[in-house]
Amino acid sequence: MTDLRDGPIRVQAKGFSWSTARERHYEFCPRAYFYQYYATSGGFEKYSAARQLYRLKHLKTVPFWLKSLLGECIRDWFYDAASDVPIERILRRLFSWRFRKGIKSLSLQEWREDSKKLNLFEHYYDHKDLGDLLEEVTDSLTRSINNLFSSGLISQLEKVIQVDKIIFNPPLETNLGNLKIWFAPDLIWRESGKVNFLNILIEEKNELNADSIMLHRLYAMNQLKISPENVQSFGFLPSTGLYYLFDENSLNISKCIDKVTQSSSKLFELHSASEELQEENFYKKSGKCNSCRFQEFCKNRNI
């Protein structure tokens, strides 16, 4: 159990796993990494500091929320039974319903009682007026939806028959040797002898990188029993409407495996240094605080 009543945080070490998100958190700031993956590992505990950390852990930026909305709505439509209603109408209704549900939850501040309810970083920390922020979000969502329908992605997915849709609940687990690895694609389907993975991106095309592609292939090989050469990875960037197939020529599997091995070894060394993980062993990286979700908690820590 995490003890947050007084003094430095101490956490009992448990099973270790790796993900690209975990690596990004550590590179962003080791202290934030500790709060994200260890100090909150007990969930919404009775101590006030643990509740605070657990709430901050679930803060979302506007771009990430929009990505999540698109992924959830596309999955809702993609895996549902066939309907005579035009696809664009179905999806726009889903987007509207999920968007309004999130806005209502945010307006009522439901996150105070249930930390997994929507709370936006820009509203919480930047103190943007909720009305102005929602106007910006509405404009961004509208552009994203229009980009989605003009990108060709929905037209391609519309042709996929029900039996070729691979049902899953993100995140997914696979392994590299004894190392457990997590990743979170938005859709998986079969088509023309290939297994396809879709990643909806947040802000940049390079978010779909060689490391992510390698995980798609590991999962296909380990869990789906599909040869890696029969795997394709697609990216969709809502802000621009870019929909593309990852260039296989830029994929070096051996280099990716080496990178994952080195990263996981580095993080595992911190994880297994002792049976007890200690807050002060994860240093603060300067210059990152204003963009960190844990700044409210961390700024008062003299550690």
Side chain identity, residue 303: I
pLDDT band at 12 (very low <50, low <70, confident <90, very high): confident
* Unique residue bearing structure tokens 């101590």: 47
- What length does the chain have? 303
Q: Give pLDDT, residue 235.
A: 97
- ω before 171 within 30° of 0 (cis)? yes
Residue 46 dihedral angles phi and psi, to the nearest 5°: -75, -20
Query: What is the arrangement of strands in the sheet containing 18-19, beginning at the earlier edge strand?
Result: 18-19, 179-183, 172-176
Q: pLDDT for 35-69, tens place per residue?
A: 999 888 655 454 456 778 888 999 999 999 999 99
Phi, psi of 289 (to 5 degrees): -60, -40
Residue-wise pLDDT tens digits, 16-42: 999 999 999 999 999 999 999 988 865
pLDDT at 1: 42
Helix (H, G, I), strand (E, B) or coil at 276: strand
The confidence score (pLDDT) of residue 197 equals 98
How many angstroms separate the CA atoms of 166 and 12, rounded? 37
Q: How far is CA 222 from CA 40, 154, 172, 173, 229, in A?
A: 30, 28, 12, 10, 14
State the Cα–Cα distance between residues 225 and 216, nearest whole angstrom. 12
Task: Give me the pLDDT at residue 81, please.
Answer: 67
If you ran DSSP here, which 8-state letter would residue 283 be given?
Answer: P
Query: What type of residue sits at position 46?
Result: K
Token representation of residue 231? 């795997």
So where are the chain's domains?
62-150, 162-255
CA 251 to chain centre: 22
Digit-coded pLDDT (tens) for 57-100: 999 999 999 999 999 999 999 998 667 889 999 999 999 999 99
The mean-pLDDT minimum among 113-117, 156-160, 179-183, 219-223 falls in 113-117
Question: Which residue in 129, 87, 138 sits closest to 107, CA to CA?
Answer: 129
pLDDT at 6: 57
Instruction: Give the pLDDT score at 44.
Output: 47
Query: pLDDT class for 224, splitting at 50, 70, 90?
Result: very high
Which pLDDT value is given to residue 273?
64
Q: How far apart are CA 238 and CA 228, in angstroms?
A: 27
Mean pLDDT of 116-120: 94
Residue 195 has pLDDT above 60, yes or no: yes
The answer to whether the CB of 243 falls within 8 A of the CB of 199 is no
Q: Which residue has the higher pLDDT, 278 or 151?
A: 151
**Residue 276 · residue 39 · CB < 8 Å:** no
Alpha-carbon gap, residue 232 to 209, rounded angstroms: 13
Q: Is the pTM of this model over 0.75?
A: yes
Q: What is the mean pLDDT of the chain?
A: 90
Q: What is the pLDDT of residue 249?
A: 82
What is the pLDDT at residue 32? 96
How many other C-beta atoms are found inside a 10 Å radius of the C-beta of residue 129? 9
